[in-house]
Every structure is written in C-alpha cells, then in structure tokens.
C-alpha cells in the first residue's frame, strides 16, 4: 500500500460514515409527517446509520483478506500489496462476499434498531425526552455539515464561515428544541410486556 493510499483511506472511511449518517438523518425527517412512522423515526435513523460502521468492518476484513492472500502467494513480499488491490476488492473477493456482507449488515442493523426501539420505549418520559433532544440535535448537526459541504461545492467564498456556523447553530437548536417540545409524539403507546415503568412514567404524568 502506498503512502498516498494510506492518506486517502481515513477520508474514505469518514465519507462512508458520514454518507450513512446523512441517509439516516433524511429517513428520520421522512418519518416525521405521519404518526404511524414517527414513533419509529429514531430507530429507522439508527438502522441506516449502522450501515456505516458495518461497511467499514466489511472493508477492513476484505482488505485484511487481500493482504493475507498476497503474503501467502508472494511468500511475505509486502511490496506486492499495492494500489491495484484497492479498487479491485470486489473482483478479488467475488459477489459472494458482497452478498454475505449485505445480509450480515442488514441483520446487525435490524437487531440493533429493534433493541433500540424496545429500550427507548421503556425509558421514563423525562429520560426519553432528553435522549430524543440530544439525538435530534445530532441529526441537525449532520445537516449542518452537509450545509458546509454544499457551500464549498457551490464555491461560495464570501462570509462562508459565518454562514456555515450560523446554519449549523440554527439546525442543531431547531432540531433539538423541536424534539424536546414534541417528544411525546415519538413514543406511541406504552409497552405492556417486559416493561419496568408504569404508563404514568411513560407519559410523564407522574412529574410535578
């Protein structure tokens, strides 16, 4: 692997993580208009976001497999591991690895989203409102970073930093404040099985 590839990899990994965070943020917003989907908005966003780290894990496993294969075939000649290996991981490993990776990732993401939904439905209202506010503010920051990237892409040079910081602040506060105010709309009905909170704690009616 060349020095140039070593420098590009962190940017590639960051781009993959951000792409799935942005996808999750878009799905979160798409779930908001309907009550039937709003209660699953946070879990749906998490399901999408989980594809980021899972994709990185698959890429790392693929890379390690290619490196191991090169060592075996070249009797430890590390110089044989160069740039042609990076753009041809799929060709080297085959479609089987890609299909298996997608299935494993979908399973992990679904299990994580299901566990998240089950646990958050059993938070007290005060804890859930705090959680929803922080996560929604984080989603606002994802859109804020997207705004910064758009400003760079649009080649806007005048006052770009103040515009980006202002937009970031508005999005974070806007998403966070909205989630805090309408936290109950993200919950649905209180759970009736395997729960450790009462319906009053679920709704926050016990609070003074």
Nearest CA among 11, 30, 29 for reference residue 140: 29
Sorted by where each begins, the domain ranges of the chain are 1-120, 124-208
Q: What is the pLDDT at residue 49?
A: 95
| pLDDT tens readout for residues 59-100 | 888 777 666 666 666 555 444 444 444 445 555 566 777 888
Nearest CA among 178, 189, 179, 145 for reference residue 164: 145
Q: What is the pLDDT at residue 38?
A: 92
Query: What's the pTM value of the predicted model, to 2 decimals?
Result: 0.82
- What is the rounded distance in angstroms from the CA atom of residue 101 to the CA atom of residue 109? 12
What averages of pLDDT result for each successive group of 10 residues across the chain (208 residues)?
Answer: 60 90 96 91 96 89 69 53 48 72 93 95 93 96 93 82 92 96 88 84 69
Q: Which residues contact 4 (CB under 8 A, 6 or more apart)?
A: 83
Q: What is the pLDDT at residue 208?
A: 43
- What is the rounded distance in angstroms from the CA atom of residue 33 to the CA atom of residue 50? 23
């Amino acid at each position: 692997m060349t020095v140039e590839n070593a420098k590009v990899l962190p940017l590639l990994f960051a781009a993959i993580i951000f792409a799935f965070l942005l996808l999750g943020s878009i799905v979160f917003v798409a779930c908001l208009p309907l009550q039937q989907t709003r209660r699953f908005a946070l879990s749906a966003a998490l399901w999408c976001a989980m594809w980021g780290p899972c994709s990185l894990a698959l890429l790392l496993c693929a890379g390690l497999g290619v490196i191991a294969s090169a060592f075996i075939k070249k009797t430890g000649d590390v110089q044989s591991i160069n740039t042609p290996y990076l753009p041809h991981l799929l060709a080297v490993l085959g479609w089987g690895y890609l299909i298996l990776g997608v299935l494993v990732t979908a399973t992990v993401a679904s299990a994580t989203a299901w566990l998240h939904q089950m646990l958050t439905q059993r938070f007290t209202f005060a804890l859930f409102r705090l959680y929803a506010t922080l996560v929604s503010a984080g989603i606002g920051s994802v859109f804020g970073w997207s705004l910064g990237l758009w400003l760079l892409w649009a080649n806007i040079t005048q006052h770009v930093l103040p515009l980006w910081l202002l937009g970031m602040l508005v999005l974070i506060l806007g998403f966070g404040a909205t989630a805090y105010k309408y936290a109950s709309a993200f919950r649905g009905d209180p759970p009736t099985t395997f729960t450790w909170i009462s319906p009053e704690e679920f709704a926050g009616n016990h609070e003074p």
